[in-house]
Structure 1
Amino acid sequence: MTREEKSVVIEELTAQLGDNAIIYLTDISGLDAVATSNLRRACFKSNIKLAVVKNTLLEKAMEASDKNFGELPSTLKGNTSVMYSETGNAPAKVIKAFRKKSEKPLLKGAFIEEAIYVGDDLLDTLVDIKSKEELLGDIIGLLQSPAKNVISALKSSGGTIAGIVKTLSEREG
């Protein structure tokens, strides 16, 4: 690979790092062609982009990026694959599901919305991270609860003010 080709790859990697808020670094070495194909298919189904990269080029891209990758460059040893996703826990779920049949991929580290996670031992933690959509659903559910209480109070009390107050006071007590 010429210096110019390396420069182009670094620019592309830097752009991808800048465009993605969820980045997982994994080691998929040792997977045979069939397993690698199955992993790529699982990633595709979960809307995850998987790319094998050269450590030195990725490290230079991380340095050139506006983001602070903390300890992640120190994990760039051996083979490295990058998973880009729009959902924080999707790559962790794919890795965990895939590891029911294989020892790989190993999680080297992750960058999720500016938070840094280093080490395969954090896989379960990353699986449990709620996605933005899940958090919004929880918040909406919490916000709807008081309104549902008022509506059910209105229905059960016959709609009179005295009945509503009585029903609501009984529920709080």
Structure 2
Amino acid sequence: MDRAQKAESIEALKGVFADAGAVVVTHYMGLTVAEMTDLRGRLRKEGAQIKVVKNTLAQKALGGSIGEEGDALFKGPVAIAFAPDPVSAAKVVTEYAKGNDKLKVVGGFMGQTVLNDQGVKALASLPSLDQIRATLIGLVQAPATKVAGVLAAPAGQIARVLKAHADKNAA
């Protein structure tokens, strides 16, 4: 890799780190191509990606912004999982790591905050952005449904009373 390619890779990583809600750092030693492809597919379904990175290039792209603790994450064979949503990449990678001992979650970072492996697991346990949106929409719609039910109830009662009188008069 020549200097131009390295500079291009560093700029691409800077863009990834700037746009990602959270970055999950993993060790992937021993994963087969099929397992890595499966993981990529699962991440893609959630709008996330995984990328194998050179440690020195990732550290240069970060420029020391996350400190020595963050630089320490980039040791050994490293792949980073990232997405605009802070939860989705962590959720998929953590779930996949439970079923596959070869993938190991080392840690991660959100902006300037460095997370250890337990922090990434805690992040993965949070609801995703889509789940939060669905919950909020449900909460907003519930009162409207109840109001409509309350308003319709008196009209229904009047209709039943009138029907009862009509039936009584017809008999």
Unaligned 5+ segments in structure 2 are: 157-171
| TM-score between both structures, scaled by the size of structure 2 | 0.74
Residue aligned with 1:157, SS: helix
- What residue number does 1:9 align with? 9
Q: Does 1:128 align with 2:134?
A: no
Alignment of 1:83-98 (within 5 A): 83-98=81-96
Residue identity in the other structure for 1:73: D
Structure 1 residue 100: deviation in Å?
4.1
Unaligned 5+ segments in structure 1 are: 160-173
| TM-score between both structures, scaled by the size of structure 1 | 0.74
Q: Does 1:144 align with 2:141?
A: yes
Between the aligned partners of 1:86 and 1:17, the Cα distance in structure 2 is: 10
Between the aligned partners of 2:139 and 2:96, the Cα distance in structure 1 is: 34
Structure 1 residue 25: deviation in Å?
1.5
- CA RMSD between the two structures: 2.7
Residue identity in the other structure for 1:125: A
Structure 1, residues 85-129: CA drift from partner, whole Å, max 9, x if none? 2333222332233234311322222334x4735222234322222
Residue aligned with 1:29, SS: coil
Alpha-carbon distance change, 97 to 20 in structure 1, aligned in 2, over 3 angstroms: closer
Residue identity in the other structure for 2:94: K
Structure 1, residues 54-95: CA drift from partner, whole Å, max 9, x if none? 11110111128xxx5464333111121111223332223322
- What residue number does 1:165 align with? none
- What residue number does 2:109 align with? 111
